[in-house]
Structure 1
Amino acid sequence: MRINTFTIYQFGKLVNKTYEINRESLIVISGQNESGKTHVRYFLTYMLVGLTKQELERFNYQPNHFFGGELTIQCDDKVFTLYRTDKLNHQLLVKDEQENDIPMDVFSQYVQRVNREFFDRIFHFDVLSIQKEQTDSPEQLGDLLLSLSMSGTDAIERTEKKLKKALERLFKKAGTNPELNQQLKTLESMEKQLKELKEKESGYHVLEQDIKEIEKSIDQLHDDIDEVKQQLFFYQTYQQLYHIIENYQVANRYLLEHSKPHVKREINKADVIAWHEKKRDLLQQVSYQQQLIERKKEKIKDSQTRLGEASFYQFLSTINDHESYWREQHHIFLQTKTELDRVMTAIQDEKRNIGLQLDDEMVQQLALPKENVAELDTMTTLYKELDDDLTSKQAELELLLSEGDSLSYERHQLEEALLNDYERQDIEDAIESLKRKHDRAITPKQLLPVFSLASGVLIMTFIALYVMNSFQPFIIIGLMMVYMISLVSLIYVKQRPKVSAREVPTQQEENQLQHYYQVLTRDETAKRKRDELTRDWLIFTRDVEVKEKEIKKQKERKTHVSRNIDRFKGRYPFLSHVVEPRYSAVLASVYQLKCLLEEKATLITSLTLREEKLKQFKQSIIDQCDITEQTSMEGMLKLVRHQYDEHKHARERHTELTEELRGLEDEAQQIEATLMPVVDALAEAYDAYHVKDFEAFIAQHEKVIHYKEMIQQKSEMKQKLELRFSPRALKSIFSEPLINERLLKEYLDEHEDKKQRLDDAHMSIMKQLATLKAEKQQMESSTSYRDLHYQFQMKREAFNQQANEWLMYKISYEQLLKTKRLFQASMLPGILDKASEVFRAVTNNRYHSIDYDDVSKQLFVTHGQGQLVAMELSQGTLDQLVIAIRLGVAMVLNQSIDLPFIIDDSFVHFDEGRKKRLLDYLSQEQRQSFYFTTAPKERLTDYQVIDLEVE
């Protein structure tokens, strides 16, 4: 996936911004603080994976603009546009090149969707997260870097530390301080005490057996009581609902003795009575309406004689209805003539503007779509821009070559100061010889200060001894002997220079030695300067190569554009007579002339058709009406309108009479239509009840109503009984005859007595049970046993909870270690290979590879002199190692997730050389990277730079 353009409608302080991105993999977004880099970075994150609610509130504070924007991406040969706006509630909308909506499941086949946390951990880099991922403890650095290689962050390493700390806090196999160890020891002691207390009770088991037998008897007694209560409840309810049961059985007997009256369907009695009365009234209205219709027909016959021919009236009516149309046609005819004159004038002006002799027919036959005009205009503009840019780049190349000449001259000047190996060896031998000779020629002048100092010390010693009254003879004699020996030695040394005077170095030799040192110094300085010039020369050759490639590419584009312009000249030969800068202007004028000629032909055709149409219209009026050809269009229309009004009045009167007759007939039909349903309804009602007249219907209806009332009564009584009795009790009630009231009272008294006897027995046995339980409670509820048993239960519950917590941590920790082992065996080698590739590029091959030691659990790097573990690296190199591992994880683990890197000035602690090499590496990768920096764009000329300062 590659981002081609992104447009910001409104995002924070950025409003209506569009940024074009070329085909390069690395895009640098440059700007000082508060220039909008953070807004652009968060906008890209928002478009790709979305933002949290708090982040959206941070950037959505301008209500007068549409929040969000759009992002155009290319996946293989497909181009999609991604939209997120506040109108869409920040939902992602995807469209293709034809503006068709793309479903998310189809879009996911090209770009896999990820959540925000995954995107930040893998694809987002910033200097704070890189510094945070480094630890102060060198011993833990290996685990941290392994965590980085697994997930891109220190999450794995932090999780492992937390789990291990939690396990050690809860339990150790041979420990005493962990919480579970202490609790287990306490529980064992309490359980032993409980057993001792419980064994002291002798008859406890016998008492428990007696209690169980009594509880079993109580359960049986409960069953008997429940059965008696059910019987008692049945008879009590039967007595309360005695009247309802009696009514139910009366209704049931009636329904069994009488059959249901035979009717097709039931009819409301009131409806039949209303239909009978309405039929009588409607028959009277039909008779009166027939009399009115006969009188209206006689008036219509008198009006028929005053009407004229229908065809002539139809003609007048048609002319009158289309009067506005013909007026408009006449007006359009005049406007068309005026428009034709204007077009003719514009054609002449355009021909003079072109300045070429072009035939109208040839211009009209030209295949000249509007797109060709716009394309030629674009080509000429682009050709001029390319020519100007090529001139500028050639001037830059000339300036760069002049700098190369200066470098070459400086390198030539250095050759005089450089020594070869033989010259350097000779000079060093001569210096060594002079130094040995200089060391042998030590003059007595160098020894005089020493003896002067010794004489002073001797005098000070005499003074001190005098002060302390310690002038012993042997001390004075010893000091004098030392002084005499010193004087003899000084005199002897003074005589030695006379013998070896020829060994003292001359002034010429001293000058020669100084000259040798100056030559060696100039050689060392020249070597350093030569190294600097060599580095500058490599940079110069690379810049020249890049600039020559750009010039070559620019020339190819210019040639391609020139061929396209020549293609237009071949297609339109008249451009050969036009100077180059006016190609697009002349072609645009020819296109305008072609449009005018087409408009002229259209206007002439339209004018001819309208003129012929108006002639035919006038002739039709002359043929039908008494009008001369010299009459104007206005006069013709006025005469037609007058004759039409006269005929119209006569026909309107005839129409009014006809409408009145039709109204009377409609009223009669409505009355008959109203009567027919009533007659049909009565006939249907009589047929449904199998009767012939109204009186027979009333009698049959009364029978049906009474039968329905009995059915309703039976149903209501049954529903009331079902609410109070069980289905089994209802079955006996419906199947057996009604119980006598006296017998029912005897049943009630009998079950009341039985219930009382069972309650008394239950009370007695419950007292016996309470006595036995009190004895049992007295045996097992002593203060020591109860307190100890309660404490034991509480501590055991707390122990179980913490044991479950320890087991959860144990399983999680073992699973994490298993995952790390699987990762080291399967994916870690591939990630370290990719990270090593990045590390070599950043350090300019100073370090060769990154490896992991399974024994020491440490990451180490290999270089020319050996190996270094990660904790021995400098802070700057460690930053580069973390970056390399982060990039390795993102490139290996997420090859199926094609999303760009977003790097927020993460290389701020790199020196310029390493930063440049890392940026070059990212620019050569297939994956797109966005690098946000405060560095000015003048330092980043090798990449595409979006400068936010000029916005």
Structure 2
Amino acid sequence: MEIKRIHISGFGKFSDFNLDFKNDLQVIYGQNEAGKSTLRQFITGILFGFAQNKRQSSNLYEPRNRSQYGGDLVFEQDGSLWDVSRLGRTQSKLEITDQNGNHVNNPEIFLTKLLSPFSQDSFEDIFSFDQEQLNEIRSLSGKELSDRLLSFSVVNADQWQSLSKELDKNASVMFGLTKTSKRPINQLLAEHQQISNQLNSMGGQLSDYRKSSQQKKSTLKRIAELDSQLHNLKKQMDEFSKLIELSGLFNRKERISMPKTNDRFSDQQISNLTDEIEQRVEKLQSQIKGINLDKSENKSTIIAENPLLTIYKNNRTDIDLLDKSIPNLIAENNLFDQNDNQIKNISSRLSELQNDLKTKFGDRIPRALPQGVSIQPSRSITVFFIIGIILMLLGVFGIVKGFQTPAFPYPFWICGAGVLFIGGLLSFFERPKKQSINLSQYGYSNQVSLDTIIDSQNHLQEYHQKIDQFQQLQNEKQSHLSKINSILKLANSLREFLPSAKQDHDALIDQIQVILNEIRDERQSAILSKEQKKLVDENRQQQIGHLQNLKSEQQQIFNYLKVDNYQNFQYLQAEKIKNKQRLNQLESINQLLTPEKENQIKELGGVEEITKKKQALKVRIDSIEGEIKQENQQLLNLNATLLNASSDTDYQTKLQQQSDLETDINNDLTEYFANKLAFSWINESLYQISHKRMPEIRSRAEQYFAELTENKYVSIIFGDNSLLVANQQNEKFYSYELSKGSSEQLYVSLRLAFAESVAEKNSLPFLIDDSFVNFDVERKSIMDNILHRLAEKYQIIYFTANPDQNFSQSNIINLGEAANA
């Protein structure tokens, strides 16, 4: 990533400020308070977001002239220019556009992915540093310095180190290594040991209790296994039910998909008849019909010789009515097929319900009870009802007494009314209920239990509803069939042109449509006025050539389609329409009947086999439910045995206390070991990641450090808790033993090496803010040369308050002059 240009709308001291950058080394010169640190924070804020409050940054860089907070930044990535705009501090609005002005959808995700894996903290730790961080290096201990270096070599390592310490602290608070420790887990273990000793001393019934407990566990395990089997069987039962519901579609698809037999035309002929060819033939036929070369008497003779026209003249009323009734005939036929499929589905469900209800009630299936009818015995007159009646009588007596005592009536009236009200309420709510209904009038036998009657109400209601639906669908089907037959009677005069073999309604309707189309065409060709015949006679010789050309072109198309004449072409058209209808039906069926469901039906042997398997599953489910009932009864017996075997209240209490303590210990130990394992895993992972990259980083840092110290120090050594350097005589020195300048140069070497190692995968700009003020002239010159070399591969933005003669004027931006421009 190379920053090309920035525009600051408002940030700190800058307002409506523009600045262009070079691609290699950009030195931004400015005196103190010129805004170098502000510019550096602006670049970081545009890329990663501005600080929202004082807790995130001590300086929020509010614009001094109340201009719009924020700005935009243009950078180049992989040869493309991108403009990143971020306006507003608390409710920042981010927009990203490419070099063509197109806006990027989800700009936050796009920018985060582009900067990945760096966050703002890791970017500032690796690519951005200043003199304050160099001054801090001398005050760090060996362990703190090691952690600081680790945070540079591993992205977000400081957050992982903080989390690791917190996990270790939490684990230490929970458990101590000594037995006398008073931490929570230690106290629970001591209390558990005390209760275990008490239980061992109580003894006696422990052996029987454990044996019954083991049997209880085995029974619970068996119940769980049976429940699992029952769940799987019910799931399979539901799948079979869904497949049976699709049976009608499956059978219809098989019928439609059956290969054609004794058809007049092949699939190739139908596929050759494109819409374009069809339109051309119709146009040619229309033109041919428009050219009439026959005499009127000859034409009338031809019409008379056509049998279809003869039948039409003799049965004009029926055939015209049949032609108008074709849409109704197709609609009634579709409704007939739909009712037929619904009847099959309901029949299957009725068979299941009938088998289930006959198992419970015998051959005679009773009726479902009406809604709200109670079959429980009624209550008799209760004591509270009698008390309520007595209180009502006393209340009436008190009111009458008040009338008899005119001098002081109010106490009697008030008490009488209160007692009357309470008695009325009590007698109302405790009144005798109506007797339950007579079950025999609904067909229930006295041998059937009330639980069975109650549990079967839903199935009984569904059974009788299905019977009503079945009868209703049968009536509708018969009605549709009657309407179909009444319409088909109109085609009796055309029977000699219809197939003699019995066909389904779909095929018969298609054939009738073909014949009606042919009659319509013959009628149109037969109706010619005298003026048209005269015109044909006058132009007959002129049109003979044109007619022959039209017929020749039409015959070529007929030869291509392998048909003899236009009539056969019309038959081919009808076959194409029929084929298209068949394909549309298949497409509609395929939308509901997926290939997966169809393969399941075929693999299971068809609908009849699925129904048999479903019935077999029902038997297995009933068997397993019976086993579960037996196991539950055995579990109740075992619970009673366990209760009797542990009749001593103190013994039961101790056992419960022991169980509760074990649960608490297991929960606390789980949390303790989870914290310890997470602590170890984080530390080991950070160690492995950092040391995998460390040899390469150390080699680069040694090169930079040797160059900066003019080969006085040639190697860097990472200890467990310290950092050492060695000179050419292999004399080793701790980092805190170095001079201030050398220690800063060591830190700069490590920072550059770390940043260069990371930048090879995702190159971000290096932001260096006056970090070399303590370098002498010679070492400052060496540092400038290093920056020049780095700038050949990465963008370096160097902020400084000191005029530097080692950089060309083309690389230097005077911030004061740029701000005043």
TM range (shorter): 0.3 to 0.5
| TM-score for both structures, normalised by structure 1 | 0.38
Which protein has greater RCO, CA pairs closer than 8 Å, 6+ apart?
1
Report which of the two structures shows the higher radius of gyration computed on alpha carbons: 1
The structure that is helix-richer by fraction is 1
